[in-house]
A = this chain, B = another copy of it.
Amino acid sequence: MLFVEVLTRVLGEGQLTVIDASGRPHRIEGARPGPSVTMRVHDRWTGLRLAVRPRLALGEAYMDGRVTIEAGGDIYDLLDLIGRNMQALDATPMVRWSYALQRWLRAVEHYNPIGKAQKNVAHHYDLKDQLYDFFLDRDRQYSCAYFRTGDESLEEAQLDKKRHIAAKLLLEPGQRVLDIGSGWGGMALFLSQQFGVDTTGVTLSASQHAVASRRALEGGLADRVRFKLLDYRQETGRYDRIVSVGMFEHVGSAHYVEFFTKVKDLLTEDGVMLLHSIGRMEPPGGTNTWLRKYIFPGGYTPALSEVLAAIEKVGLWVADIEVLRLHYAETLRHWRLRFLANREQIKQIAGYDDRFCRMWEFYLAGCEVAFRYMNQMVFQIQLARRQDAVPLTRDYVIDAEGGLHRPRSMAAE
B398 & A398 in contact (Cβ 8 Å cutoff): yes
Stretch binding the partner chain, chosen from A10-18, A77-85, A291-299, A322-330? A322-330
A398 & B392 in contact (Cβ 8 Å cutoff): no
Q: Across the interface, which residues of B come within 8 angstroms of A303, CB to CB?
A: 308-309, 312
Partner of A391, one of B312, B389, B410: B410
Partner of A312, one of B282, B323, B403: B282
> Is A108 part of the contact surface with B, judged by Cβ < 8 Å?
no
A319 & B323 in contact (Cβ 8 Å cutoff): yes
Q: Do A399 and B408 contact each other (CB < 8 Å), given the known contacts A308-B308, A313-B283, A377-B387? A: yes
Q: Across the interface, which residues of B come within 8 angstroms of A195, CB to CB?
A: none
A146 & B326 in contact (Cβ 8 Å cutoff): no
Distance A395 CA – B405 CA, assembled complex (angstroms): 11
> Is A266 part of the contact surface with B, judged by Cβ < 8 Å?
no
A105 CB to closest chain B CB (Å) equals 20
Q: Across the interface, which residues of B come within 8 angstroms of A320, CB to CB?
A: 321-323
Q: Across the interface, which residues of B come within 8 angstroms of A409, CB to CB?
A: 391-396
Q: Across the interface, which residues of B come within 8 angstroms of A269, CB to CB?
A: none
Report the interface size class on chain A: 35 or more
Tell me the A129-172 residues at the B interface (CB within 8 Å): 146-148, 150, 170
Tell me the A162-208 residues at the B interface (CB within 8 Å): 170
> Is A229 part of the contact surface with B, judged by Cβ < 8 Å?
no
Q: Across the interface, which residues of B come within 8 angstroms of A398, CB to CB?
A: 395, 398, 404
Tell me the A373-413 residues at the B interface (CB within 8 Å): 377, 387-399, 403-404, 408-412
Partner of A309, one of B283, B390, B411: B283
Best-buried of A321, A324, A396, A399 by chain B (most CB within 10 Å): A321
User: Please, which residue of chain B has its CB at the minimum distance from the CB of A324?
Assistant: B392
Q: Across the interface, which residues of B come within 8 angstroms of A313, CB to CB?
A: 283
Distance A196 CA – B369 CA, assembled complex (angstroms): 38
> Is A281 part of the contact surface with B, judged by Cβ < 8 Å?
yes
A317 & B321 in contact (Cβ 8 Å cutoff): no
Q: Across the interface, which residues of B come within 8 angstroms of A52, CB to CB?
A: none
> Is A254 part of the contact surface with B, judged by Cβ < 8 Å?
no
> Is A318 part of the contact surface with B, judged by Cβ < 8 Å?
yes
> Is A270 part of the contact surface with B, judged by Cβ < 8 Å?
yes
Distance A313 CA – B404 CA, assembled complex (angstroms): 37
Q: Across the interface, which residues of B come within 8 angstroms of A323, CB to CB?
A: 317-321
A388 & B170 in contact (Cβ 8 Å cutoff): no
> Is A305 part of the contact surface with B, judged by Cβ < 8 Å?
yes
User: Please, which residue of chain B has its CB at the minimum distance from the CB of A310?
Assistant: B305
A67 CB to closest chain B CB (Å) equals 29
A392 & B147 in contact (Cβ 8 Å cutoff): yes
A218 CB to closest chain B CB (Å) equals 33
A391 & B411 in contact (Cβ 8 Å cutoff): yes
A304 & B281 in contact (Cβ 8 Å cutoff): no
Q: Do A315 and B412 contact each other (CB < 8 Å), given the known contacts A148-B392, A404-B398? A: no
Tell me the A326-348 residues at the B interface (CB within 8 Å): 326-327
Q: Across the interface, which residues of B come within 8 angstroms of A146, CB to CB?
A: 393
User: Please, which residue of chain B has its CB at the minimum distance from the CB of A285?
Assistant: B312
Distance A398 CA – B303 CA, assembled complex (angstroms): 28
Tell me the A255-292 residues at the B interface (CB within 8 Å): 270, 281-284
Q: Across the interface, which residues of B come within 8 angstroms of A284, CB to CB?
A: 312
Q: Across the interface, which residues of B come within 8 angstroms of A387, CB to CB?
A: 281, 325-326, 377
Instruction: With A389-B412, A391-B412, A404-B404 given, name 9 new contacts (CB 8 A).
Output: A147-B392, A150-B392, A284-B312, A304-B318, A305-B312, A317-B325, A320-B322, A322-B394, A327-B392
Could you list some 5 contacts between A and B, CB below 8 A?
A148-B393, A305-B312, A318-B323, A322-B394, A393-B409
Closest 3 CB pairs of A and B: A321-B321, A393-B409, A305-B309
